[in-house]
Amino acid sequence: MSHSSRHAENAMENGKAAVDEASEAASSMRDDAARAVHEVAGRVQAAGGQAADYVRHQYDDMSGRARDTYTRARDAVNSCEETTSGYVRQSPLTAILVALGLGVLIGLIWHRRD
């Protein structure tokens, strides 16, 4: 074999080795990228789960507060109704005069707006 043939053969072998090495590097990079994507997806999913838990907790908390506020308001209205009803039964004439006075006052205020 001539010197140039050996040189060409060596160059081909070196070229094949370089291609194989580049192929392995590309495969390794692809695997690393896939692992990184999988890891990021896991982190995003975990963060999404945490966000959903937080929103669920806030919703439950606000629902409880709204329910408590409604109950207190309902109890206050019922108490006011019972007090007013008792007052009207004890003093019907006074209740009628107070209602009449309020009606006149509201009428005067309404009339001035027009």
pLDDT at 1 over 60: no
What's the confidence (pLDDT) of residue 32?
85
pTM, to two decimals: 0.47
pLDDT at 44 over 80: yes
What's the confidence (pLDDT) of residue 37?
87
User: What confidence tens digit (pLDDT) does each residue in 45-76 have?
Assistant: 888 888 888 999 999 999 999 999 999 999 99
What's the confidence (pLDDT) of residue 114?
64
Rg, Å, the chain Cα set: 43
pLDDT at 2 over 70: no
